[in-house]
Amino acid sequence: MSPILEGQNLALRFVAVRALDDVSLALWPGEVVAIVGESGSGKSTLLRVLAGLAAPQAGRVLYHDADGAAQDVHALREAERRTLMRRDWGFVHQNARDGLRMGVSAGGNIGERLMAAGGRHYGNIRTAAAEWMARVEMDPARMDEAPRNFSGGMQQRLQIARCLVTRPRLVFMDEPTGGLDVSVQARLLDLIRSLVAELGLAVLFVTHDIAAARLLAHRIVVMRHGRIVEEGLADRVLDDPQHPYTQLLVASVLAA
């Protein structure tokens, strides 16, 4: 078996900051990996580079598609990369505004990917949108309402439904529960966990919430100053952190 996604020797430097400094990372089919680290450590940058949203200055990202062919994500033609992102991948942003079309109804948001994939049957699109609203525990009767009518937690559920409707193999999430009330966070995490298990998704998610990482992740990658300082099985990393930085992080001494 080969990894579903591989980042090899990735580097990206902003004017004064090395946001990614020779980072390599592999994700396996069906695996859930959490990227943790304090604010500014390069988590979001790594996720965006791996998801093809930002180009690295060095290194490459390989995606192994369902047929087993390896695609160099940043060397693809734009049309191919867009197709890949919409067909095989999903991206859940921390801010619903970045992941939803705020001027389009909940149903239209979920249906967009189906239409992009060639869906031209209005009734089928609505049926699928209603099904996915139900699956993320939203009221399908509200499918014609605009995203702004929904709470922050519901908007994140909507983003998730919008990503999953085309049954991607790989989902990226950047702080999917960030900025939500604690109880809302817990319910959302439960939902993500059950969907991921049900669909056998590979998930790469960024969080500064150690509890979220423990709940969802099989494996944890710890970042600091644009480098991976430690990685391993979630329980091992959290119960027996090796790197002093991870020890601080687990002890919640470092604020995110």
Ligand X SMILES: Nc1ncnc2c1ncn2[C@@H]1O[C@H](COP(=O)(O)OP(=O)(O)O)[C@@H](O)[C@H]1O
How far is 73 from 62, CA to CA, in rounded Å? 6
Query: 184 with 153: CB under 8 angstroms?
Result: yes
How many residues interact with another protein (rule CB under 8 A)? 21
Strands 18-27 and 5-13: antiparallel
Query: Which residues, numbered 36-75, are part of the site for ligand X (CB under 6 A)?
Result: 37, 39-45
Look at residues 251, 237, 250, 249 and name the one whose alpha carbon lies nearest to residue 39.
249
Q: Rule CB under 8 A: which of 69-98 touch another protein?
A: 78-79, 82
Query: Nearest approach, Cβ of 173 to ligand X (angstroms)?
Result: 12
Could you say whether residue 199 binds another protein (CB under 8 A)?
no
Structure-token pair, residue 58: 């060095």
Q: Least distance (Å) from ligand X to the CB of residue 42?
A: 4
When CB distances are held under 5 to 8 angstroms depending on the partner's kind, the choice from ligand X, another protein, Mg ion, none that residue 40 binds is ligand X
**Is 250 in a helix, a strand, or coil?**
helix
> Residue 133, SS3?
helix
Name the residue nearer to ligand X (CB basis): 42 or 168: 42
Other C-beta atoms closer than 10 Å to the C-beta of 114 total 20
For binding to ligand X (CB under 6 A), which residues are involved?
14, 17, 19, 37, 39-45
Contact residues: another protein, CB under 8 A: 78-79, 82, 101, 104-105, 107-108, 111-113, 115-116, 120-126, 144
